């Protein structure tokens, strides 16, 4: 496990959910990135979903190397303890996933890190009256083709393209 003093933040553009049971995701990191060796040494990491308010921090963490900067200090981001792993969480993010690396694969320009989600932490303010986590209200940011976008406009729901008319066709 990496010592606390070596904590770093990296912006990851290539990531995704890969399994439901057990919950797993993947991230891809170039070997020359400072975080690459930290990930290998620690065997764990957190995924911290950023909000619109954090978009400048997201960009900074994607272009400034942890070799040269303490990004938590530079950006005045709060560190929170994880519940299942040693890697810290970013306190300002509304959703944090604690991940344990299960395997890696060198794919060429990037290493694929396959990880199991060991724990999930979310902001209590996003829990609605039915106990559902309303992530769509978090004001999340996405990255595509060199640009950052705010998420949140609902375009449909799972199965809406085949649902029979007259049955909740919102």
Q: What is the pLDDT of residues 52-80, one digit of tens each?
A: 999 999 999 999 999 999 999 999 999 99
Q: What is the pLDDT of residues 94-117, one digit of tens each?
A: 999 999 999 999 999 999 999 999
Look up residue 4 and give its two tokens.
């606390």
The per-residue pLDDT for 170 is 55
Q: Please determine, for residue 169, whether its predicted confidence score (pLDDT) is greater than 60.
A: no
d(CA 26, CA 82): 19
Confidence class for position 127, pLDDT limits 50, 70, 90: very high
């Amino acid at each position: 496990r990496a010592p606390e003093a070596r904590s770093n933040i990296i912006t990851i553009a290539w990531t995704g959910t890969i399994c439901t049971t057990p919950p797993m995701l993947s991230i891809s990191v170039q070997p020359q990135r400072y975080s690459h060796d930290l990930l290998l040494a620690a065997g764990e990491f957190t995924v911290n979903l950023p909000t619109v308010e954090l978009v400048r921090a997201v960009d900074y963490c994607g272009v400034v190397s942890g070799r040269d900067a303490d990004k938590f200090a530079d950006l005045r981001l709060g560190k929170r303890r994880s519940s299942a792993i040693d890697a810290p969480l970013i306190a300002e993010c509304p959703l944090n996933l604690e991940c344990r690396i299960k395997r890696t694969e060198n794919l060429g320009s990037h290493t694929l890190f396959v990880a199991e989600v060991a724990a999930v932490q979310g902001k209590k303010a996003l829990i609605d009256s039915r106990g559902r986590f309303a992530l769509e209200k978090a004001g999340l940011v996405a990255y595509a083709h060199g640009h950052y976008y705010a998420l949140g406009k609902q375009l449909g729901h799972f199965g809406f393209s085949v649902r029979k008319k007259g049955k909740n066709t919102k």
